[in-house]
């Protein structure tokens, strides 16, 4: 069955709030085997909303709206739904009593306009809201075989109503839809175009499973999606394709689904029983922060020094003053000295040093903004890496942190 999600609310179009309802609904519906092929956002305008719902009904079997069920004059979703399906609006006494009880139980004064929420399209199925005052609505167009479901906008209300009432309704009405399952291969270190080139034959020949490349904050995800009669069968299809893809790009894959680079590094450090200390200049402790975001990281992160000034590089990390004088704070030798120095001072198994120019100022002749040096000192010796990153100061710091984590991951794989 084809589903279209319609998110209502001018505040969404103005960028005043982030739409979390559509991703939640899309994920849950796909897990249930329903095909979410369209998502639309429309403001609180009757004519535009009417056109959006009419278009949705032309191309989808099920239309699920979120938002616009509240008590104000701007909450028009039910009214527009009724108009599109040629239904009059009717007062629902049971809903009115429940709304009154909601306020009375909480010893709150109820404004008269709250009873607008008890107005329903004629013949609609009412969906109880256990987290708020706005009931949901299911309106069936039996002639066309289409359904519009109106859900409230507050995410906690929508999620609770969907889980408790809409899923059972969909299962009863449509039966089992099979399963749509996705697995994401998380990669770093190869650009989107180059990565696509390596698996292009599989992309061009895709059917079921399907393949898609998605760039997210410097990481490239390869999403493999399969549909089958059940989750087990779908996973078998995914595994079959993944087994063909992995040998082509294995060095760039650091995890699956929600894995992060810092988790991948943490697993390797634990597996090899190694500890690390860090000396960070241009990243300001960002790599340490990411590593220590992982629960249990105290087992492998011994400590960190943020050493922006040359004085701290010398006094706290052990960088030779002669290296700074000869090479400058931003150099490969300084990064190596930072990695070696932090390792010598605090006795971990691995030292990581990072120095660079995050900008927007600080550039010199031959050393532009975005120039970064990363060094690792450990059981395999000292390794150094040079990068040129563009973007804002925050972008340079973020990209440097990703690169440092990935270099560390690949260094650990050699041990």
Distant-in-sequence, close-in-space partners of 108: CB < 8 Å, separation ≥ 6: none
H/E element, 353: strand 350-356
**Alpha-carbon distance 182 to 185, whole Å?**
10
pLDDT of residue 112: 81
Tell me how crowded residue 207 is: count the other CB atoms within 10 A of its CB. 5
Average pLDDT over residues 225-252: 96
pLDDT (tens digit per residue) in 258-282 = 999 999 999 999 999 999 999 999 9
pLDDT above 90 for 176: no
User: Where does 89-218 show beta strands of DSSP type E?
Assistant: 89-91, 119-121, 125-127, 136-141, 146-151, 179-187, 210-216
CATH code: domain 179-256 is 3.30.70.2860
pLDDT mean across residues, the chain:
95
Distance of CA 7 to CAs 74, 152, 168, Å?
A: 14, 10, 22
Domain ranges of the chain: 2-174, 179-256, 261-413
Nearest to 147 by CA among 138, 158, 160: 138
Tell me the pLDDT tens digit for each residue of 392-409.
999 999 999 999 999 999
- Cβ–Cβ < 8 Å for 13, 41: yes
Q: Which pLDDT does position 241 carry in this prediction? A: 97
Six-digit token string for 309: 């000034």
CATH architecture group of domain 261-413:
Alpha-Beta Complex (3.90)
Q: List pLDDT tens digits, range 81-134.
A: 999 999 999 999 998 998 899 888 888 888 888 888 999 999 999 999 999 889
DSSP state of 410: H
CATH tag, 2-174? 3.40.980.10
Name the E strands within 17-85.
35-42, 62-66
Its pTM surpasses 0.85: no
pLDDT single digits (tens) 20-60: 999 999 999 988 999 999 999 999 999 999 999 999 999 99
Mean per-residue pLDDT for 298-315?
97
Q: Is the pLDDT of residue 215 over 80?
A: yes
């Amino acid at each position: 069955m084809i589903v279209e999600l319609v998110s209502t609310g001018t505040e969404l179009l103005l960028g005043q709030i982030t739409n979390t309802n559509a991703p939640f609904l899309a994920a849950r519906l796909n897990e249930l085997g329903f095909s979410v092929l369209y998502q639309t956002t429309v403001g609180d305008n009757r004519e535009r909303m009417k056109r959006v719902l009419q278009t949705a009904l032309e191309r989808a079997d099920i239309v699920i709206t979120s938002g616009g069920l509240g008590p104000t004059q701007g909450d028009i979703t039910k009214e527009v739904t009724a108009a599109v399906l040629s239904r009059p609006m009717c007062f629902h006494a049971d809903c009115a009593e429940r709304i009154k009880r909601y306020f009375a139980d909480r010893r709150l004064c109820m404004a008269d306009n709250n009873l607008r929420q008890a107005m329903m399209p004629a013949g609609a199925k009412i969906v109880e809201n256990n987290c708020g005052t706005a009931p949901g609505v299911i309106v069936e167009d039996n002639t066309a075989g289409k359904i519009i479901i109106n859900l409230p906008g507050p995410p906690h209300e929508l999620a609770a109503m969907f889980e408790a009432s809409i899923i059972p309704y969909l299962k009863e009405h449509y039966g089992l839809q099979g399963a749509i399952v996705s697995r994401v291969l998380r990669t770093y270190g190869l650009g989107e175009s180059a990565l696509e080139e390596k698996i292009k034959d599989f992309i061009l020949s895709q059917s079921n499973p399907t393949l898609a490349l998605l760039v997210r904050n410097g990481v490239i995800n390869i999403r493999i999606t399969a549909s089958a009669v059940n989750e087990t069968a779908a996973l078998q299809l995914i595994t079959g394709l993944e087994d063909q893809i992995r040998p082509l790009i294995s060095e760039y894959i650091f995890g699956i689904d929600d894995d992060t680079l810092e988790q991948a590094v943490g697993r390797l450090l634990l597996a090899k029983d190694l500890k690390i200390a860090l000396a960070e200049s241009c990243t300001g402790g960002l790599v340490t922060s990411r590593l220590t975001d992982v629960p249990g990281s105290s087992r492998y992160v011994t400590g960190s020094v943020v050493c922006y000034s040359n004085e701290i590089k010398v006094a706290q990390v052990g960088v030779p003053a002669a290296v700074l004088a000869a090479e400058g704070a931003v150099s490969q030798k300084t990064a190596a000295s930072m990695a070696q120095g932090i390792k010598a001072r605090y006795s971990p198994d691995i030292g990581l040093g990072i120095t660079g120019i995050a900008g927007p100022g600080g550039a010199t002749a031959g050393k532009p903004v975005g120039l970064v040096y990363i060094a690792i000192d450990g059981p395999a010796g000292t390794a150094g890496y040079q990068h040129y990153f563009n973007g804002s100061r925050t972008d340079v710091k973020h990209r440097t942190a990703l690169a440092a984590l990935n270099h560390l991951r690949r260094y650990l794989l050699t041990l």
